[in-house]
Amino acid sequence: MRRNRKLDYLSTKEILLRVFKYALKSKALLLTSLFFLIVFSTLEIVQPLIIKKVIDDELTGISTVWVKTDESKKSILFNGEYYQKEDFDNPLAGDKYTIRIYGSEYLLIHGVVGEKDKIIEANDLVVIEKDNGETYTLEYLRLSKNDLLAFYRASVDPIIMMIILYAIISIVILISRFIQHVTFTSSSMRLTLDMRKSAFEKLNRLPIDYFTKEPKGKTVTKIIYDSEGVRGLYQVVFSVCSAVFSLVMIYSGLIYLDYRLALITLLALPFIYLWMKLYRNKINKYNRSIREMNSRINGKLAEFVNTVDIIQIFNKEEQMANEYDEMLKKNYRTKIKHLNINTLFGFDLLNLFRRLIVAGIIVYFSVQYFSVATVVAGTTIYVYIEYLEKIIGPISDIFSNLNSFEDSLVSSSRIFEFLDEKEDTGLGSVTGVKFRGDISFQNICFKYDEDNYVLNDVSFDVHAGQFVGIVGHTGSGKSTLISILERYYDLEEGKILFDGIDYHQYSKQDIRNNIGIILQDPSIFEGTIKSNIAFGMDVEDAEIENILIKIGAHKFVNELKDGIHTKVVYMGENLSTGEKQLIAFARILLRNPSIMILDEATANIDTETESMIQNALSVLSKSRTTFVVAHRLSTIKNADIIYVMDQGKIIEAGTHQELYQKEDGAYRAMYDALS
């Protein structure tokens, strides 16, 4: 059973699953984007660790244990002796020396000094205090700046390698981000393309009654703008998932760096979550109000543009301007409130949380004495702050996308609602069947709603090649009868036979391929006169020109500078109503259908153009069955038979002469009233 049509037509889960289904059509692009997302997210965690390693192991790394050893690639020359950094995993053989900072000086101490041991005096010997308060002395040598440079030479090659590695990682991150952005954007654009393609294909499968009930502008909005909203939902979901993944990666880096710092950061998350929830609830109220007001402003502006002539006639320009100005002011006040909330409790508050965490970390470490261990801790703080900056980005992305998520859900619900509309029945393929033109209407009854019948037990037969006129007052059912003949609506009561066969046995495409219809307001497309007549068919100019000449449209062939290649603007605004009707008539004649219908086709044209069409009809109707739903009764004076309809029934039938001879007849009354 069909669900109610409303914004909660689908649940959030159902919408996301359907969006994901469309996204999988670009599986290769999506997987590529995810792969490079993982690549650059991981490498961005590695970069600060490289800086930390350079500082800890190389720049401050000389303050460690050195071993007097033989000459090698890793050794440095100092005072004629070779020294190499101790490898604590594979200890080296030789005398041990420790470089430590004392005041503003570096000391080369003969022996191993523990990491937590503190130098308290350096005279003839260096006095060192352990954690337990015990002291011991060792020989030492003060190092000059040049002496220090000798020890730093061991770090030159590793630092260069680290810089090269850092640069390579930066380039890989840049390339990965570029590829990820391109592939993700391409997949999202492909999703929009597939969505609009599905929506356009859906249009061709919808019954005509959908378009009579649904405003055309609303349908266009769903296909164009709401399909873009699905893309927005896809991007929002991907961005949120990317942000969550980045948070997991960064937090993993924090735990690796220092689990205590990670726990301190974790304590802030509940407060951030609570703040985001409260902020979102508050700001969404204003977002909805602004969206609603924008719709009303656009509607008011459209109303003004569409009725500007009436407004000017009644001198209501000032009143309309005041109403519009009041709406703008109300919208402005709401936006100011939105701005205030966003400024006080938006991203700046998130930055405040970040700064408070950083301040707490600095206070925590500042209570310790400045030492080599503290320098190492300082590099940990540096990496921590780098990670903290990287955490703020994903949280901000999640936060900023929450509002877009709701808007995108609404748009997605609307487009999926459209795609789930009940489709037309009887659709099929064009088999090429050609009707002779015999038509039989048998006990036709039809109603648009549950109660009122528009057609009530209509029965008559039409022979091939017959010219049939159908007249009646507005609402008599004549246009509905023609719509049923075209199978715009499915017939449930009664039968229509084409050449003795129930027309339900044919596809709607076959039926419409055999019936040409010209409406009161013809459809004209931007292009040329030829493109409007050929309408996709590959036709020589001469064939189109011959058809135009047959119906008396010589002007299109002889008088216009570019002839049938004359440009036609949007909606045919550079053509008269009569010229549009002649183009529509030629378009049908080019297809040479077995059955032709003119539904009030001469109602809006001048007498001269009507005469052209009547002359063409008198020639062409001999070879095809022709129905003319007439407002101007002069159009059907030569009809083989005329049916007069009233309240969904045929009340009179006959030729013009036969019907006019009935003194109290409905046809005669209509004819005299219009004469």
Nearest Cα neighbor of 633 from 608, 603, 588 is: 603
Farthest-apart Cα atoms in the chain, separation: 143
Nearest Cα neighbor of 84 from 97, 98, 67 is: 67
Question: What integer pLDDT is reported at residue 178 of this predicted model?
Answer: 94
pLDDT tens per residue across span 423-441: 877 777 778 889 998 999 9
Give every strand in the sheet of 118-122, ordered side by side: 118-122, 126-129, 135-138
Distance of CA 236 to the CA centre of its chain: 11
For residues 525 and 537, what is the distance between their CA atoms, to the nearest angstrom?
15
The answer to whether the Cα torsion of 593, 599, 604, 609 is positive or negative is: positive
pLDDT tens per residue across span 50-108: 887 777 777 666 778 888 888 887 888 888 888 888 877 788 888 888 888 887 788 88
Question: What integer pLDDT is reported at residue 35 of this predicted model?
Answer: 92
Helix (H, G, I), strand (E, B) or coil at 439: strand
Helix (H, G, I), strand (E, B) or coil at 192: helix
Does an H or E element contain 228, and which? helix 227-257
Q: Which residues in the chain show pLDDT less than 50?
A: 1-8, 369-376
Report whether 465 contacts 622 (CB < 8 A): yes
The answer to whether the Cα torsion of 423, 428, 433, 439 is positive or negative is: negative
Question: What integer pLDDT is reported at residue 176 of this predicted model?
Answer: 93
| Alpha-carbon distance values, 550 to 92, 156, 536, 555 (Å) | 108, 94, 22, 12
Return the residue matching tokens 């000086």. Answer: 105
- Strand partners of residue 495: 442
Report whether 230 contacts 19 (CB < 8 A): yes
For residues 385 and 261, what is the distance between their CA atoms, to the nearest angstrom?
10
For residues 79 and 150, what is the distance between their CA atoms, to the nearest angstrom?
10
Question: What integer pLDDT is reported at residue 240 of this predicted model?
Answer: 79
For residues 226 and 573, what is the distance between their CA atoms, to the nearest angstrom?
30
Cα-Cα-Cα-Cα dihedral of 512, 515, 519, 523, to 10°?
Answer: 50
Report whether 448 contacts 473 (CB < 8 A): no
Nearest Cα neighbor of 139 from 127, 153, 125, 151 is: 125
Nearest Cα neighbor of 626 from 666, 588, 580, 584 is: 588
For residues 661 and 263, what is the distance between their CA atoms, to the nearest angstrom?
102
Question: What integer pLDDT is reported at residue 603 of this predicted model?
Answer: 58
Beta strands in 86-208 (DSSP E): 96-102, 105-110, 118-122, 126-129, 135-138, 140-143
For residues 371 and 386, what is the distance between their CA atoms, to the nearest angstrom?
23
Does an H or E element contain 322, and which? helix 317-345
What does pTM read for this prediction?
0.66
Return the residue matching tokens 């719509």. Answer: 483
Cα-Cα-Cα-Cα dihedral of 618, 621, 622, 624, to 10°?
Answer: 180
Question: What integer pLDDT is reported at residue 340 of this predicted model?
Answer: 79
In the structure encoding, which two tokens stand for residue 262, read together?
A: 């990670």
Beta strand pairing status for 467-472 and 641-646? parallel
